[in-house]
């Protein structure tokens, strides 16, 4: 009887010590929410393209497209065309 009582007391005392000493599981970084868009391929009613991207990926693509447009618009014509002066 005394042995069972001693085992019960040790169990009650040891469990909180073990729980307090254990490290909490690390939280995983939040997963970025992906949004999918479906676009149709020009000239086809069947071939649809589905693209799933995060907001950051969409913003990067938008900035890259803007840089390409700016670069193309900044280029000067290589040849002078007679109606337009150089």
Mean pLDDT of all residues in 70-85: 75
CB 59 within 8 Å of CB 53: no
SS3 state at 82: coil
Are the C-beta atoms of 38 and 50 separated by less than 8 Å? yes
Where is mean pLDDT largest: 4-8, 31-35, 66-70, 73-77?
Answer: 66-70
pTM above 0.85, yes or no: no
- Does 45 or 84 have the greater pLDDT score? 45
Instruction: Tell me the pLDDT of the chain averaged across its residues.
Output: 77
Continuous segment of H or E residues that includes residue 21: helix 2-21
pLDDT in tens, 2-23: 656 556 655 655 555 555 555 6
By percentage, how much of the chain surpasses pLDDT 90? Answer: 29
């Amino acid at each position: 009887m005394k042995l069972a009582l001693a085992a019960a007391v040790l169990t009650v005392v040891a469990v909180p010590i073990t729980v307090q000493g254990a490290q909490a599981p690390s939280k995983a970084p939040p997963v970025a929410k992906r949004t999918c868009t479906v676009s149709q391929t020009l000239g086809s009613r069947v071939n649809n393209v589905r693209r799933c991207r995060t907001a950051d990926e969409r913003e990067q693509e938008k900035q890259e497209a803007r840089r390409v447009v700016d670069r193309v618009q900044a280029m000067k014509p290589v040849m002078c065309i007679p109606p337009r002066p150089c």
